[in-house]
Structure 1
Amino acid sequence: MEPTSLAILIKRYIHDELQEEEVAQLWETLREDQHQEKWEAAMTALLEDEAAHGLSDPAKMEQVWARIQPRPSRSMQPITSGKWRWLAAAAVVSVMAGASTYFVLLRHPRTVAVAVHPATPLPSPVKPGNNKAVLTLANGTQIPLDSSGNGAVAVQGNSQILQQSNGQLTYKNSGTTAAGQLQYNNLHIPRGGQFRITLSDGTKVWLNAASDLHYPASFTGTDRRVELTGEAYFEVAQLPAKPFKVIVHNTEIQVLGTNFNVKAYQDEPITQTTLLEGAVKMKTGSQEARLRPGQQAQVQAGGMLTIKDEVDVEEVVAWKNGYFQFNHEKISGVMKQLSRWYNLEVSYQGNIPAREFGGRIARSSSIEEIIRILELSKIHVKIDNHKIIVMP
C-alpha cells in the first residue's frame, strides 16, 4: 500500500467514512511489521497537516501528548526522536477521534502505539465490571448491593447503613457504642465488581474487584482496625487519638490520616502498599518501615519487606479513576487485571511472546476493544463463554 493511499484511509477512518472491508485493510496494514515505516510516515504527515486538525503547532502537540501519555518511571529509557514522532502522531489521532483509550506495545527495537476504536462485536456475553457487592451483617445476613439501591439497608448497633445509587455504602454513627457491643460487617466485591464505602468514622474506601473488607460497624477502643484482602484505596479520616490500622495477611499498616492504596491479592506474590499523602508505618514480623509520599512497601510471600522509591502513583490508582494503566507490564500481569474486571478465567496455549505493554485503557471498554488491542500487538485470544484463551 502506498503512503498516499494509507494517509487517505487514515483520514477517512477518523471521519467514519470507511467501508467494512476498508477498515479491515487498515488494521491489517498496521498489524504487519513491513508496513510500519509507511504507517509512520502517513501518521506524521497527518499530524503536520494543520488543515486536518489544527494541531501542527509543536507546543499544542506537546500539550496533547503530555495529557495522554502515562508518566514514565525513572527506570524507563528515553524515547528517541523517531519513536517520539510515531507516539505523538498516534496520540493526536486518538484525541481527534474522541477516543479515551490507547495502548502501547513496548518491544525491542521499536515502540508501537495504537489508537483504539470500537471493534466488530463478538458473540460473547462478557461485559465490563460494574458496581456490585455483597454485605454480610454481624448476624450472618447477606444483602446484595448494586447501583440501583438507594436508602436504608440495615442497622448495626448505633450505626445506620445507607446505600446510594452510585455504588456507595455509608455508615452513619448515631452515638457512642460500648466496647462489648462491637459488631463486625464484611463487604465482599466479586470478580467483575467494584464498590465504595464510608466507614462510621468518615474514612472512605474504594474497593476493587475480587476484594473483601472486614470492619466494625462502629469503632471503639483506642484504635480503628480493618482487615483487607484484594485491593483498596483509603482516604482515612484524621483522628489522632485513634490510629487507623489495616491488617493484610501478616502485615499491619498504621496511619493517623492519609491516602494510600493497598494491593493484596491471594494470587499475587507481592503485597503492595503505596502512599499518596501523609505517612504510614509498616510492620511485618520483626521488620518495620515508614513510608513517604511516592513510596511503595512491598512484602514478599516469605515476609521480606522492601521499599520502592518514586512510584508512579497514577498507575497504582488508575483502577479507582476508571482505567487500567500499564507501565512495562508483562502479558500475565495485564491478563490478571482484565480477568478480575471482566470476570474471566485465563488460560495460555503455546509459546506466548515475552512482550511488555504500556498505556491506558478505559475500564468501560468492551471486551471486543480489548481483544482488538491484543490482536494489533500480535497477541491472539479467543473467548469461550467466560474463559479467555491467550495464544501466540
Structure 2
Amino acid sequence: MINQDRIILAELAASLAKGHSLTEMEEEQLSQLLIKYPESRDIILNMIEDQQVVLDFNPNSTSVEQEWNEFHHRIGESIQEEKKVYPWNRIISIAALLLSIGVGSVIWWKNNQEPSYLIKTNQFGQHTDILPGTSFAKLEVVGDGSYELNESFNSVESKRGELSYGQKLKTKEGSENQIHRLNIPKRSYYSLVLSDGSKVWLNSESELEYLASFNNKERRVKLKGEGYFEVAKDAKRPFIVETDLMQVRAVGTAFSVKSYTEEPKVILTEGKIEVTSNKAKIALVAGQKVELLGNHLKMDRSENEEEALAIKDGYFNFNEKNIQEILDDIRRWYGVDLVIKRPLGVKKYMGGIDRNVTLGELCVLLKKLTNFDYVIEDEKLIIQ
C-alpha cells in the first residue's frame, strides 16, 4: 500500500470512529480502499506496530481473528470480492471492525500532534516527507455563516477540480446578493466559477471577496495573494480585480495577478487590460506584464507566461525566479517553516515540476538546481 493510501485509510476510519459523517467523496474513497486492499486489517495493525498510529489502549488485548470472523458473518460475504461497490451500511460495519481492532475510539498521529500529511520515509534521502496540498477553501457568506469547501462541492467536471458551489449553499430569503469571502489557507488551492461564468484559480494563502451576483454596472472582486482569471466576455460590465495597491480592469480576457508583497505583478495571457495604481494607468496587450516598483508601474514584455498559467495547470514554475521566490512558493504549498542557514544569493533559475509531488521529491530537484542541501524535519525545511 502506498503511503498516501495508508494515511487516507487511517484518517477515514478515525473520522468514523469519532462519530463524524463522511462526504459522498470520502465514502467512495473508503469503499475503494477496502476493495483495493482487502488486507486492510493487517495494514492497520502494521501501522500500529510501526508507531505511525498511537492508541490509548493495547490492541493485543482484542481478539482480532474473532472480530474479523464475526464481521464476515454479519455481512455474509467477503470484502475480497473485486469491483464491488459497498453500500454505506457495510462501510460503517467495516469501520466498526477497524475500531474494534484498534484504529481507535481515539486515534492520532505519534505524539498526538503530527498532522496526516507528515509521513515517515527512507526515500529521497529524507527521514520525514510531506505530502502536497489539496483543493480546499473556507467560505464566509456574510450574514449566513461559514463553510468548508473541498471536492465534494464539485459541480463542473475537470481534471484540475474546477468548482462551482453557489447552488449548494443555503442563503436567507431575500439575501441572494451577499458578500462572499473565500479564504485559501496554506497547503491549499481552489478554483471556482463566478456568477457571470468567469473562472478563477486561487493559490495558497489567498483571499477573494465578491458579491454572489454581480450588479448591472461592473463585476468587481477584491484579491489578496495570487489568482489566475479567465474573464467571461461582457462589454457592458467590466471585470475589475482590486488589490491593496493596484486595480486591473478587463472585459473578456485572461491574466494572473500576484499581490503577496508590496511589489504586485500582473501577467496578461489573452486580450487587453488596464492596470491602475497611484493615479497612473497602463494598457496591456497579450504577452506583456506590469509590476509596481515603489510608486511606479513598470510595463515589460513577459518572458515567462508559464508563470501565469502555473496555478491553473498545477505545477511549480521556477523560470526567472531566485531561490527565495521559489522557497516562498514551496512554503505556501507544503505548509512548512523555512530555516535558512546559508546565503541564498540572487541567481535566477529555470525549470519546473508538477505540484502533486512530495516535498522530498521536490528537494531532489532543488538540490540539482542550486547545489544546496535540503533537510525536512517535521514541518520545517532546512536549507544549508
TM-score range, shorter chain: 0.5 to 0.7
**Does the CA-based 8 Å contact 1:339-1:346 persist in structure 2?**
yes
Q: Is the CA contact 1:172–1:200 (under 8 Å) kept in the aligned structure 2? A: no
Aligned partners of 1:119 and 1:372 also within 8 Å: no
SS at structure 2 position matched to 1:281? strand
Partner of 1:351: 343
Separation (CA, whole Å) in 1 of partners of 2:134 and 2:350 = 24
Q: Which residue of 1 aligns with 2:380?
A: 387
Decide which of 139, 143, 151 is 2:143's aligned counterpart: 139
Alignment of 1:154-193 (within 5 A): 166=161, 168-171=163-166, 182-193=177-188
Post-superposition offset of 1:315: 2.9
| Structure 1 pair 172–141 and aligned structure 2 pair: CA distance change class (3 A) | closer
- Structure 1 residue 190: deviation in Å? 0.8
Alignment of 1:101-250 (within 5 A): 119-120=123-124, 122-124=126-128, 126-139=130-143, 141-150=145-154, 166=161, 168-171=163-166, 182-250=177-245
For residues 231-283 of structure 1, the C-alpha deviation after alignment (integer angstroms, 9 at most, x for no partner) is 11111111111111110113111111111111111xx3421111111111111
Relative to 1, partners in 2 of residues 1:353 and 1:277: Cα closer, same or farther, differing over 3 Å? closer
CA contact 1:146–1:167 (8 Å) conserved in 2: no
Equivalent AA in structure 1 for residue 288 of structure 2: Q
* AA partner of residue 273 (structure 1): V
Going from structure 1 to structure 2, the CA distance change for 1:148 and 1:182 (only over 3 Å counts) comes to closer
Shift of 1:287: 0.2
Match in the other structure for 1:304: 296
CA pair 303-140 structure 1, distance change in 2 beyond 3 A: farther
Deviation at 1:212, TM superposition (A): 0.6
CA contact (8 A) 1:132 1:145 kept: yes
Aligned to 2:361: 369
- Describe the shift of the 1:360–1:181 C-alpha distance in structure 2 as closer, same or farther (beyond 3 A): closer
1:222-371 paired onto structure 2 within 5 Å: 222-265=217-260, 268-300=261-293, 302-352=294-344, 355-371=347-363
Give the % identical residues: 29
Seen in structure 2, the aligned counterparts of structure 1 residues 223 and 344 have a Cα distance that, compared at 3 Å, is: same
CA distance in 2, matches of 1:322, 1:180: 35
Q: How far did residue 140 of structure 1 move?
A: 5.4
How far the C-alpha of 1:166 sits from its partner, in A, is: 2.9
- Cα distance in 1 for residues equivalent to 2:177 and 2:308: 33
| Aligned-residue RMSD, C-alpha | 2.7
Task: Indicate the SS of the match to 2:338.
Answer: strand
For the residues of structure 2 that align with 1:163 and 1:216, how far apart are their CA atoms?
24
Q: Distance in 1 between matches of 2:255 and 2:214?
A: 20
1:315 is paired with a residue whose SS is helix
For structure 2, the residue ranges without an aligned partner over 5 or more in a row are: 1-121, 169-173
Q: Kindly state the Cα deviation for residue 217 of structure 1 after the two structures are TM-superposed.
A: 0.4
The alpha carbon displacement at 1:142 in A equals 1.3
Question: How far apart, CA to CA, are the structure 2 residues paired with 1:214 and 1:349?
Answer: 38
Please say if residues 130 and 194 of structure 1, whose CA atoms lie closer than 8 Å, have aligned partners that are also in contact. Answer: yes
**TM-score normalised by structure 2 residue count:** 0.62
Q: What CA distance in whole angstroms lies between the structure 2 residues aligned with 1:255 and 1:353?
A: 37
Contact 2:304–2:320 (Cα < 8 Å) also in 1? no
CA distance in 2, matches of 1:353, 1:297: 25
**One-letter code of the match for 2:353?**
I
Number of equivalent positions? 257
Cα pair distance change 1:308/1:119, threshold 3 Å = farther
Which protein is richer in strand relative to its size? 1
* Distance in 2 of aligned mates of 1:202 and 1:221: 15
Q: Which runs of 5 or more structure 1 residues have no equivalent in the other structure?
A: 1-117, 152-161, 174-178
Task: Please report how far the alpha carbon of residue 285 of structure 1 lies from its aligned counterpart in structure 2 after TM superposition.
Answer: 1.8
Deviation at 1:294, TM superposition (A): 0.5
Q: Distance in 1 between matches of 2:201 and 2:322?
A: 26
Q: What letter is aligned with 1:259?
A: A
Q: Does the Cα contact within 8 Å between 1:163 and 1:170 map onto a contact in 2?
A: no
Aligned-pair CA distance for 1:121: 6.5
